[in-house]
Structures are given as C-alpha cells and as structure tokens.
Chain A
Amino acid sequence: MTSCDDVDLILAVGAVSGGFQDDDLKTVRDHVPGCARCRRSAADYTATADLLGVAVEQVPPPAGLRARILAEVYATSPAGAAVVARQAARTPPAPSLRGRLARLWRSVPSGRGFTLGGALAAAAAVALLVVSVTRGGGTAPLSSPVSASIAQPAVQGSFTYYPQTQTGVLSVRGLGPQPAHVYEIWLLRSATSVTPAGFLTQQPDGSWTAAIHGSISGYAMVAATVEKPGGVSRPTSDPVLTASLPST
C-alpha cells in the first residue's frame, strides 16, 4: 500500500513536470480522491508550480503571432459565421451601380491617389509585393493600410488577409460612432461590381473590426459606408474608408 508520503512526492514531481508517468498516475488516481491530505498537497503543489511561469524573462513575441491567432479566432467565432451567412444571403448588385461606384472611388481624398486608376495601381504594387512574399509557400498574411476619407480623416487601420484560412480582418481606429446607423463593408471587384461583405463591429476599446471570409481573389478594394441598420444591398453613401486588397 502506498503511503501519503510516497504520493506527496509523486504529486510534487508531477506538478513541476507537467504530469505523471503511467505508474505514478495510477497511484495518484487510486489514492488522492479519497485522501484529503493529498488532495490538499496536490492543490498546493499545482498552484505553486503554476506560478513559476510568470517569472520568466520577457521575450517579445513575433509580430505576426497576434494576427495569426486572432484570424483563427475570428474565423471560428459566431460573429464570423454570421458574416458568412449574410454574404451568402445577399444578391450581387446590379450593373447600374456604375455611377455610385465611380463616386465612391472618387470621394476618397485625391492626395492619397485613390482614383480608380490609382487604386488599381496600388493594388498592382501590392500584388508585386505579394508575389515576392508568397513564393515561399503562399501562407504568409498579406496586409494593406486603410485610407481615410474627408468625412473621417482620423481613421487608421489595416486590412490583413490570411491565405491559409481565406479570412480577411479589417481593423480600424478613429472611426466615429454612427447612432442609428451601421458601417457596412463592401468588396469591390471593378467599377461595375460591388459585393456586401458584412459590418464593422465596435470593440470595447473603441476600435472597429470586421471578419471577411472567403477568397478575395479578383477583388481590388474593400470599403466601408454608413448605412441604415441591417445594411443595404448596394452603397447609398460615400465611403468613410478604403483599402486596396492584396492579390492572392
């Protein structure tokens, strides 16, 4: 029969080592549940060992780690699934949007070069960068900055696309609240093709994010407009932000 002292030693070693060897595990399972003293020891040793982790010297994590984790989180969150559902439920816009789109592109500050041609040129430049990035396997996140509009000049942020999960994350700061309205996201393929892609959601820290699921191949730009709650099937206002999309 195993004594409490024997078990106590096993518990101490297991707490530091992250688990038990098979023989020790059987001993622990046989003894500890019915022994208050050893249950207490297990709690004490585990709580103490768990504290050891906080004492390590700080090493900065890789820059892309946060984005990788959050892309997976947003891709598997109920909110992300809702975005996909909304995209699937919506009818593609009619070609008569040409005038609206032309206005949409032009409304971005000219100093930033966001005419249609400028945007496509920017997309091409990003594409060149992407080619160099993706030669190694094509799974590295692709990011492009957000450009502000005249209406909301303080907007900053980025659009990051994760080829491996085919998920895009639009993350924006400096966007003002819009009481009784929403920020709707649009993917623009060309001046005659715009697709609703969900909504920006305000985070408790004041930033706004949106997850866009599915391939962005063929799209040139993402934009956001202020729309009525629930969204609309085509833009009814000028964009408050835009970002060129990287080629995939």
Chain B
Amino acid sequence: MIASDDRVLALLAEERPEAMEVLYDRYGGLAYSLAYRVLQDAGAAEDVVQDAFLSIWRRADSYRPERGSLRTWLCSIVHHRALDRLRGRAGRARTDLPLEGAPAGDGVPDMFETVSLEIERDHVRSALVELPADQRQTIELAYYGGYSQSEISGLLGVPLGTVKGRTRAALRRLRTALEGKGLGEVTT
C-alpha cells in the first residue's frame, strides 16, 4: 500500500484496519526499538508496542498535528508507555498542554516518509553527539534510560538542580540544532 502518513491518518479516522498494517510496516520497527531501548526487555517491549498501536487504532482522533508528525506521535506514545511500564505505574500526567500551532503535513508520497525518517534519525543522532558530554549523558539517562531526575542525581553524584539544568540546556541545544535542520519547528 502506498500512502503518505497523512493518508494513513485519514484511513485511521475512517476506521480502516489496513491503515494499521501500513502504520506497523512503516514504524513498527522504530516503535519496538524505542520500547526495547527503554525497557531492555523483549517481552515488555512487545507488550508496550502492542498497547501503543492499539491505542492509536482506538483513538486515532486524538492525534494533534501541532504535536508533530505521525511517527513522533507514535514515539511519544511508546515512550510514555515504556516509562509507565518501567516505573510500574498506571499512568502519569501527560505534557498535553495547549501548544502553539505548527504546520500539518502536506500529503507527501510514501517513499518520502521512509527517506525522511532516515534523514531525521541522522539529524537527531548528530545533534545528540554534538551535545556536551554531561548534557548528552543526562538526556540519555532520562529519555532512553527512563531514569528520574532524582535517580540521575544519585547516579552521577551531582545536585538535583544541576541535573535539571543540564536537561534544559540539552533540550535547548537540541532544539536549536534540529530547527536548523528543519525539524521540530513550532510556529506561532
């Protein structure tokens, strides 16, 4: 099936199950890789990915273009659920805040989605590598490792405020670097 991510979203809104086949074939590997990276457990990662995909199937209408692309939305769901699983909790208040507007997708062809994911991946990796070592370490522990700021403080032996400061500084640097590549932009 050839379909842009926008078309996949439109099919999901129509409750067309074949859209989930496209979504999984396109981003199932990404979702599983992220869940596995956080959880380091194949069975738990599988459960999280299944839960995330079924969540999208049941609530495709909750997608908000201003939050980003379909794949970053999926990553966000997988990440949150992986963290919930890791911390043994049923759920945590999401960062679903009123956001500024961002441009929606424009119906690009299927091949572009694949290529753009590769480009996006390279840009994000490069931006991470270019972070100062202490900031990169903090982001990796927090986002990919699922450690709380307090846990990171204990692990690294630095004050909690320092960890939070590094987290914010890292995000700001990442944002600047990625916006320079046309990623993660939010327009007003």
Q: Which residues of A contact B (CB under 8 A)?
A: 8-9, 11-20, 22, 25, 28, 32-33, 39-40, 42-62, 65-66, 68-70, 72-74, 76-80, 203-205, 209
Contacts and interface: CB of A to CB of B under 8 A. Distances in A.
Contacts of A16: 139, 142-143, 167, 171
Given A17-B142, A72-B54, A203-B18, A56 B30 contact: yes
B178 interface: yes
B3 A204 contact: yes
A10 to B, nearest CB: 8
Given A43-B99, A65-B50, A69-B20, A54 B120 contact: yes
B20 A25 contact: no
A61 B45 CA distance: 9
A42 B8 CA distance: 27
Contacts of B156: none
Contacts of B186: 40, 43-44, 47
Given A9-B164, A52-B143, A53-B79, A58 B29 contact: yes
Cβ-closest 5 pairs across A and B: A53-B75, A61-B32, A12-B168, A19-B92, A205-B1
A20 B21 contact: no
B124 A52 contact: yes
Given A50-B68, A73-B20, 13 more contacts: A9-B164, A15-B171, A18-B95, A22-B93, A39-B98, A46-B99, A47-B175, A50-B72, A54-B124, A58-B33, A59-B37, A61-B32, A70-B17
A39 B143 CA distance: 22
A61 B29 contact: yes
Contact of A70 (B24, B143, B171, B183): B24
A79 B53 CA distance: 18
Given A13-B168, A17-B148, A47-B67, A42 B95 contact: yes
A209 B18 CA distance: 9
A61 B31 CA distance: 9
A44 B68 CA distance: 11
Interface string B33-75: 1101100001000100110011001100000001110011101
B9 to A, nearest CB: 15
Interface in B132-174: 139, 142-144, 148-149, 164-165, 167-168, 171-172, 174
A65 B148 contact: no
Nearest to B32: A61
20 contacts: A13-B142, A17-B142, A39-B97, A39-B98, A39-B99, A43-B99, A47-B175, A48-B184, A51-B75, A51-B120, A52-B174, A54-B30, A56-B33, A59-B32, A61-B31, A61-B46, A65-B46, A66-B28, A74-B17, A204-B3
Contact of A32 (B57, B67, B97, B178): B97
B100 to A, nearest CB: 5
A22 to B, nearest CB: 8
Contacts of B54: 69, 72-73
A209 B167 CA distance: 48
Contacts of B99: 39, 42-43, 46
